[in-house]
Amino acid sequence: MSLTFSSGPLAGHAPETVNYRIDGPAHKLLMQEFPRRVRAVFNGQTVVDTTRAVLLHETGLRPQLYVPLDDIRADLIQPTDHHSYCPFKGTASYWTVTVGGQVAENAIWAYPEPNEESGWLDGYAGFYWNAMDEWYDEDERVEGHLRDPYHRVDVRRSSRPVRVLLGDTVLAETTRPLLLSETGLPNRFYIPAADVRQDLLEESDTHTICPYKGTASYWTVSADGRKLADAVWTYPQAEGDAAAVSGYLSFLHDDLTVEVGQPG
C-alpha cells in the first residue's frame, strides 16, 4: 500500500522530503499488470480464470484487482439494473453471479464507457472480493486479498526493553521482543508468550485475516476490574516474511501504555 497511503507517491498528500512534484490530479490512478494467474470460485464453479489480470492503484484505496471481461464465465453472470458513478472512472455497470441456485448479487462491475483519462479500464471488470467463495494466486488460496507488490513486512530481533501496562498493572515485560515493520503502518512490538501475564488474558472468539501475516487470534485483557476487548493478538502460524512472530503477542488499545526503553 506504499503507493496510495501514508507518504506514497499516489497518496492524497505528497511528502515534503522530495525534489519533485507530480503534475496531476489530487486523486490518481495507476493500472499495472499482475504477473500471475488468478482464479475465483463460487459454489464450486470457476467464475474467472486469467493470466491477464491487473491491479488498479488509486489514491487512498487498497489496490483493486481487475480482470478482462473475456476471461469471466459469461454463462454464470447476468447484467443488472444497478449502476454507480465514480468521478475518476465513470459510470459502472454491474453483474450478478448465479451458480446452482446460489447468488452473488451485483458482485462484478465494469466501466463500459470509462472517462477519457481512464480509458484503459475499458474491457476490464472488478469483483467484490468477499462475494466469491475462494480466490487463488496461481495454485495457492488467497485469504483476505491479493498482496500488493509495493507492500512489505520486515521482522527484526531487538534487545530494547518493552513494557505494557494497564494503569499500574504490568501486563507484559521483555528484553527480547521482535519488531515488525509493515508498509504504511506503525511499528509493532511482538512479545514472547512467556513474558506476558497469561492469567490476565481471556481468549476471544475474534479472528482476522491479513494476507501478509496470516490469521490472527485475539484475547481480552481483564485486570483491575476492567476489560479491554481484543486488545492482544497473535499469529499462531504467521506466514511469509512475518513467520518469525508466530506465537508472539502484540498489544494495542487506547487504555494501554507501551513503554519502550534503551538496551542496558
Q: Which three cell numbers stand for residue 143?
A: 485469504
What pLDDT shows up at residue 127? 98
Same structural domain, 193 and 236 = yes
CATH of the domain at 168: 2.170.150.40
**Could you give the 3-state DSSP secondary structure of residue 250?**
strand
User: Does the residue 81 lie in any domain?
Assistant: yes
User: Does the residue 109 lie in any domain?
Assistant: yes
Cβ-contact 124, 151 below 8 angstroms: no
Which strands form 188-190's sheet, in the order they lie side by side? 153-157, 178-182, 188-190
Same structural domain, 33 and 137 = yes
User: Does the residue 2 lie in any domain?
Assistant: no
Given 99, 120, 141, the domain boundary residue is 141
The domain containing residue 230 runs over which residues? 153-260
Beta pairing class for 134-137 and 38-42: antiparallel
Nearest-angstrom CA–CA distance, 49 and 137: 10
Closest CA to 31 of 94, 101, 104, 88: 88
Tally of domains in the chain: 2
Same structural domain, 187 and 222 = yes
What pLDDT shows up at residue 8? 81
What pLDDT shows up at residue 1? 52
User: Does the residue 146 lie in any domain?
Assistant: no
Nearest-angstrom CA–CA distance, 123 and 43: 25
What pLDDT shows up at residue 245? 98
What pLDDT shows up at residue 20? 80
Same structural domain, 222 and 120 = no
User: Does the residue 196 lie in any domain?
Assistant: yes
| Mean pLDDT, the chain cut into blocks of 10 residues (264 residues total) | 77 79 86 97 98 96 96 98 97 98 97 96 97 97 91 96 96 98 94 98 96 96 94 97 98 97 87
Nearest-angstrom CA–CA distance, 148 and 54: 11
Same structural domain, 165 and 132 = no
Given 141, 164, 187, the domain boundary residue is 141
**Could you give the 3-state DSSP secondary structure of residue 71?**
helix
User: Does the residue 5 lie in any domain?
Assistant: no
Same structural domain, 163 and 132 = no
What pLDDT shows up at residue 139? 97
Residue appearing with cell numbers 515485560: 173
